[in-house]
Amino acid sequence: MHPDSYFMKPQHIILLYG
């Protein structure tokens, strides 16, 4: 589980903002 992977996936970004 790398932090870069989360940023690369837009779906994860939406969850962070949500």
Q: What is the pLDDT of residue 1?
A: 55
Residue 8 CB partners (closer than 8 Å, separation 6+): none
Q: What is the pLDDT of residue 2?
A: 62
**Spatial separation of the C-alpha atoms in residues 13 and 16, rounded to whole Å:** 5
Q: pTM of the entire structure?
A: 0.06
Q: What is the pLDDT of residue 3?
A: 60
Please say whether the beta carbons of 10 and 18 come within 8 A: no
Encoding tokens for residue 3? 């932090």
| Segment 1-18, tens digit of pLDDT | 566 666 667 766 666 665
